[in-house]
Structure 1
Amino acid sequence: MPARPPSLLPEQLSLVGNSDAQLRERFQLLTAARVMVCTVIFGGTVAVYLAEGHSLDDATPKLLLSVIIAIYAVSLVYALQIRVAPRGRLQRLTAVSIALDLAAWTVLAYATGGAGSPLSTFFGLSTLTAALVLGGNGTLWTAVSSLAAYGLLALSGALGLVQPPSDQLHIPHNPIETTYQMVVTLTAIVSITAIGGALADRLVVTGDALLRVEASRVSLIALYEDVLRSIPAALVTYTAEGLVDGANPFAALFLDLEPVEMLGRPAHEVLPFIPRVALDGDAGSSSGDARLKTSYREIPVAYHVAPLYSHDGSRRGGIVVVEDRSHEEGLRHAVETSERFAQLGHLAAGLAHEIRNPLGAISGCVELVRETATLDSEERSLLATVSRDVARLNDLVTDMLQFAKPRMPDRSPVDLSALTRDVVALARSSGGPEARVLIKLRAEQPVVATVDAAQYKQVLWNLLRNAAQASRVGTEVEIVVSATEHEAALRVLDRGPGIEPELRARIFDAFYSGTARGTGLGLAIVKRIADAHHGRVEIAEREGGGSVFSWVVPRDVITAQVAGPSEPTGELPVGSPSSAPRHDPCCRRSLASTASTKSRVYSTAEVTENTIDSTISH
């Protein structure tokens, strides 16, 4: 925003404030004034004596110059002490300084005529100085001391107790003249004391009021700046000529510009996404939606343009507020996606019922025919092809149903390492793509996390199958289970061709597959389950070639008995590839049962997400 206007800071209120800095500044002014007065006296003494042909070795100039040199020396000591003296010591130093001033004025008055010396007015100046520097009590004590010093000087001269310097003529004192001089000088000191005291009181009151006003002003300016700094929106002001003259810190961050790059530039260059006519000097208020393009992103924004008026009501330019609409757009997208998934869920449920009925009949008939002993090798090959395609269709239906109608995770503390060993053991004996690669498991230590055990198996099976399909036969697929204090991670590392960076953003989209036989739902289900667990899925390149898929979720460990199987159960969640179930004995029995009854059908309502047998009705 525009620079802070000039401020009457407390440090400038040196005559009215009472802080350490202000007291130190007043003391510096007092010292400087003392040195200036002494310099004038010093120069005047030298000039007068030299002009009249007198010697500076006479008693009077010697005394005057000695006192002035002493004042110079003391002032130098003051200048050194004032920089480091604490508050209490500074006040004492000020009092001592005024006391020494009174002593110096007494000697100077004695050397220049005694009670009738023109320098006797300095006693009143010391009182005024005390009023400005020390306040009421200091003024009173200085006035009493000044009266006492001058009275002592006048009486000692009148009574002959103190003789003038030897180079001065001894003139007998006239009592009337001496009394008159004393009355005039004492009256002046008392008057100056009264005026100084009143002035000190008025300065204190005025100073306190000014300090309160200044403190309020500074506080309001700070509040103004804090508000502008804290507003989660870009705020830009521009002049009537259309040049940017202010912006809050969020604007620089939001617009991806340095503050110095904005100031002085045309507003339509800093805000190119806003129609130029809206920024015109004569335009009224306007608002709209736009897309903000920066060097690294494009985000939806809403802008509001309004005239900016000065305190006298004249228009001085305009003000623009730009808000980030990414969150709102994300929510809208999420609602639309949820609605589409709801529709897809209803469609998938109906399709699953309509498709699985004939699939069950086809699968049963094929299995029944394959048991015929008279089939030749070509016929058996054709039947095997039919079985594989039926299984693939069944996989697609299962994945669609799982993706379209996800359930909320039933979380409990489980040992991810134990669950991983179960899935790996089954995968190695499945006979599918998972069995054609070398699975290296690194899950020796228990890793406890609060997750849905069945959905975790689903994630691992999908990632393992994806890695096996991407890798060549005999290559190594590594599975790593690890944890930090707050997160648990499952990582599957393959030796496939890798994934291009531009494709990584789409790899988890539904129905996007990198293989000809893939359904495009396996990785989408992985991400859906990660989102349901408030986790994330990451893709990275593997050193030496290949990809690393990481499924990371919060541990949320609670002190309870760890749930989940410790021995292989042979169970996997819905969506697991049916190539493993078709080689499992229990599935063979299920197929045989289907073939024998010929009337059994696949029921969508009976599909369970907890066992590998969910691909076949029971």
Structure 2
Amino acid sequence: MSVREGNVRGEEAGPPRRWLWRLIAGRVVVAALLLGMSALWAGGLAANAHESHRLGGVVPLVGAVLALSASYALALRFSSLPLRAQAGAQFAFDALLVTWLVWATGDLNSPYSALYIIAVSVASIFLGARGALLMSVGCAACYTATMLVFALGWVGGARDLTPASLAEAVETTGLNDVAFLVVGLLAARLAERQTRSEVEVREATSALASLRALHERIVESIRSGVITTDLRRRVYTVNRAAEEMIGYAAEDLRGKDVSILFGDITRQIEDSLRAADEGGVSPRHEAECLTSEGFLVKLGYSISPLSSESGETTGLVITFQDLTDVRSMEETSRRQERLSAVGRVAAGIAHEIRNPLAAMRGSIQVLRSEMQADPAQAELMEIVLRESDRLNRIITDFLTYARPRKFSLVETDLREPLRETFALLRHSPEVVDGHVLEEDLPEVPVPALADAEGIKQVFWNLARNALKAMPGGGRLRAEMRRARAGVVRITFADTG
């Protein structure tokens, strides 16, 4: 939109409603001041009776102003007429009222002719450049007509017109008309410039608002957490990704010390600011953060200075990522490597043990079949066979631990492994009469990508540990709840 189009649209839109209320109030104030001046003048300051009569003519005009102001207020409150039309009508009546005041209080030398200039100037504020020009032309026409009536004696009786008096009348009227028109032109110019400035300010404000909204959308779309703080480390802004990672809403963190999330980071801030001053890469740090749901997450973060337009550091920008899954996978990989190495050693040891163990067992079986039945010797041989079988089972269990099976992640309703675990527990010899088992599960399925057998083993181990903590009886309660999107909280609680 061009500035010229903005000017036209701004003039067509009309003044705000509150401006018209102020105009009505200002008009009443001016009328009161004129009435006060008239009363003061009539009370003894007038030089003669003629002057007293001139200024005393203000009184009926004040009554008209008050009546018209009441009409303007009613129209502004209840009328559907456009505000610009109401403002134009008010200024038209103002021109007529000033003309009446000039006519009622004097001749060519009426002191109230200056009110025309005030009316033109105020009209430029409310009606714009075009309204100011029309108001100046209207005021000049009213003043010229009034002076013409006085000069020709059409009102108040005939007057002796001499060439000198006629020249004076023409000169005074012409100068005043020129003054009205010049004021109108200047006011119109100022009004046009003001309108152009307002349009430019509105466009700049709109552009800044759009740019700010774009920046906010960019920050909210980043999948890394972003937190800004002031120099006292109080949280100022938090983006959506940060809220999802730490589980806190931005409103809950705003104004609080950032240490509630990352701990004491004084040294990290100093290192980061030093690196920024030296033009180096900001170092990476790690911290453990306790979420609002009570989960412990590992965060990798970096700190950068937040600078103003002048380059002064006004705060800090902390960007971070959730490294919990990454660190978990790294730990799992290291554990698998260790177990793989142990498994290879265990397989070799088991092979070396099982070979002589099998030979020993076979030899005992041969001896038992060839020797005469001696109860004592037969019992000893049976013990040797039984203990060799137990040793073989121990080796098998050790290999199972050293070489765990591979996990199979499938879509699983987490309620089912928990139900099966508690069903087995109720028939377990570890459960006595004093034990009470409770399950609190959601009514809707809780799907998750998990290893059903592995998670069932976890449930079984937790439940057995709880029962061992309550050998004489007690309450074991398992509860399953959705903490937030993508997170399920499973709680085992006992009274042991």
Normalised to the residue count of structure 1, the TM-score between the two structures is 0.53
| 1:73/1:462 CA distance change after superposition, 3 Å | same
Partner of 1:5: none
Partner of 2:99: 106
1:409 aligns with 2:414: no
1:139 to 132, 151, 159: 132
The answer to whether 1:358 aligns with 2:354 is: yes
Conservation of the 8 A alpha-carbon contact between 1:420 and 1:443: no
Using the TM superposition, give the Cα deviation of residue 396 of structure 1 relative to its aligned residue in structure 2, in angstroms. Answer: 4.7
The alignment status of 1:541 with 2:464, answered yes or no, reads: no
Task: Report the counterpart of residue 189 of structure 2 in structure 1.
Answer: 198
Aligned-pair distance for 1:538?
3.6
Residue 57 of structure 2 corresponds to: 63
How far apart in 2 are the matches of 1:223 and 1:290?
30
Amino acid at match of 2:122: T
**Equivalent residue, structure 1, for 2:283:** 288
CA offset digits 1:530-580 (Å, max 9, x no partner): xxxx875644433xx14xxxxxxxxxxxxxxxxxxxxxxxxxxxxxxxxxx
| Residue number in structure 1 paired with 2:334 | 339
CA spacing shift, 1:224–1:195, aligned 2, 3 Å: same
User: Cα deviations across residues 590-618 of structure 1 (Å, max 9, x unaligned)?
Assistant: xxxxxxxxxxxxxxxxxxxxxxxxxxxxx
Cα–Cα, structure 1 residues 347 and 399, in superposed 2: closer, same or farther, change >3 Å?
A: closer
Q: What CA distance in whole angstroms lies between the structure 1 residues aligned with 2:415 and 2:318?
A: 48
| CA distance in 2: counterparts of 1:177 and 1:136, whole angstroms | 32
Residues 254-310 of structure 1: CA deviation (Å, up to 9, x unaligned): 9x9974979xxxxxx995224868868996345435566999999766555679697
Is the contact made by 1:131 and 1:139 (CA closer than 8 Å) also made in structure 2? yes
Q: CA deviation at 1:146?
A: 2.6
Residues 106, 153 of structure 1: 8 Å contact kept: yes
Counterpart residue identity of residue 142, structure 1? M
One-letter identity of the residue aligned with 2:403: L
Q: Secondary structure at the match of 2:403?
A: helix
The equivalent position to 2:237 in structure 1, one of 241, 244, 249, is 249
1:425/1:298 Cα in 2 relative to 1: closer, same or farther (>3 Å)? Answer: closer
- Does the C-alpha gap of structure 1 residues 354 and 437 become closer, same or farther in structure 2, counting only changes over 3 Å? farther
Report SS of the residue matched to 2:57: helix
In the aligned structure 1, how far is the partner of 2:399 from the partner of 2:433? 25
Contact 1:299 1:324 in 2 (8 A): no
Change (3 A) 1:352 1:185: same
RMSD between aligned residues: 6.0
Amino acid paired to 1:190: L
Separation of aligned partners in 2, 1:42 and 1:427: 101
Read off the aligned partner of 1:208 and give its amino acid letter.
Answer: V
Deviation at 1:105, TM superposition (A): 0.4
Any residues of structure 2 matched to 1:19-34 within 5 Å, and which? 23-24=16-17, 26-27=19-20, 30-31=23-24, 34=27
Determine if contact 1:439/1:476 at 8 Å carries over to the other structure: yes
Q: How does 1:89-488 map to 2 (within 5 A)?
A: 89-114=82-107, 116-158=109-151, 160-163=153-156, 172=160, 175-216=166-207, 232-235=225-228, 248-250=236-238, 259=255, 272-274=266-268, 284-285=278-279, 287-289=282-284, 303=302, 311=310, 316=312, 321-324=317-320, 327-328=322-323, 331-332=326-327, 334-345=329-340, 347-348=342-343, 351=346, 355=350, 358=354, 374=375, 391=393, 394-402=396-404, 405-411=405-411, 416=416, 420=420, 424=423, 428=427, 433=430, 454-455=453-454, 458=457, 461-463=460-462, 465-472=464-471, 475=473
State the shift of 1:20 in Å.
8.4
SS at match of 1:541: strand
Answer with 41-50 or 284-293: which moved more: 284-293
- CA spacing shift, 1:453–1:260, aligned 2, 3 Å: closer
Q: Is the 8 A contact 2:342 2:402 kept in 1?
A: no
Distance in 2 between residues matched to 1:307 and 1:87, nearest whole Å: 52
Task: Return the offset for 1:94.
Answer: 1.8
Say which of 37, 40, 49 aligns to 1:44.
37
Cα shift at 1:107: 1.6
Return closer, same or farther for 1:270/1:93 CA change in 2, 3 Å cut-off.
farther
* 1:115 and 1:181 in contact (8 A); partners too: yes
Higher relative contact order (CA 8 A, sep 6+): 1
- For 2:62, the aligned partner's letter is I
**1:98, distance to aligned residue in structure 2 (A):** 1.0
Amino acid at match of 1:249: T
Which structure dedicates a bigger proportion of its chain to helix?
2
Please say if residues 419 and 453 of structure 1, whose CA atoms lie closer than 8 Å, have aligned partners that are also in contact.
Answer: no
User: What is the alpha-carbon distance in structure 2 between the residues aligned to residue 396 and residue 477 of structure 1?
Assistant: 34
- Verify the 8 A CA contact 2:482 2:489 in the aligned structure 1: no
Give % identity: 19
Q: Distance in 2 between matches of 1:61 and 1:34?
A: 19
1:20-46 residue CA offsets vs partner (Å, 9 max, x unmatched): 897456546645654564455334333
Alignment CA distance shift 1:381-1:478 (3 Å): farther
User: Partners of 1:397 and 1:130 in 2: how far apart?
Assistant: 99
Aligned residue pair count: 453
Cα shift at 1:99? 2.2
Distance 1:449 1:387, change over 3 A: farther
Alpha-carbon distance in 1 for matches of 2:11, 2:359:
99
CA drift at 1:156: 4.2
SS at match of 1:249: strand
- 1:352-411 CA-partner distances (Å, limit 9, x unpaired): 68538839959988x9899x9947999789987876676566445434433xx4222344
Q: Which amino acid aligns with 1:203?
A: Q
Q: In structure 2, do the counterparts of structure 1 residues 387 and 277 end up closer, same or farther at CA, with 3 Å as the change threshold?
A: closer
Q: Which residue does the alignment assign to 1:522?
A: none
Partners of 2:65 and 2:15 in 1: how far apart? 23
Contact between 2:120 and 2:135, CA under 8 Å: does it hold in 1?
Answer: yes
Cα distance change, pair 194–362 in 1 and its aligned pair in 2 (3 A)? farther
2-structure distance, mates of 1:332, 1:175: 104
Partner of 2:249: none
User: What amino acid sits opposite 1:127 in the alignment?
Assistant: V
Alpha-carbon offset, residue 468 of structure 1:
4.9
On the 8 A contact 1:415/1:446 being kept in 2, the answer is no
Query: Structure 1 pair 415/537, CA: closer, same or farther in 2 (3 Å)?
Result: closer
1:426-484 deviation per Cα after TM superposition (whole angstroms, max 9, x unaligned):
983x8x657999786879999766676655654555455445544437x4786879898
CA contact under 8 A between 1:291 and 1:301: conserved in structure 2?
Answer: yes
Query: Cα 1:201–1:480, aligned 2, differ >3 Å: closer, same or farther?
Result: closer
Deviation at 1:109, TM superposition (A): 0.5
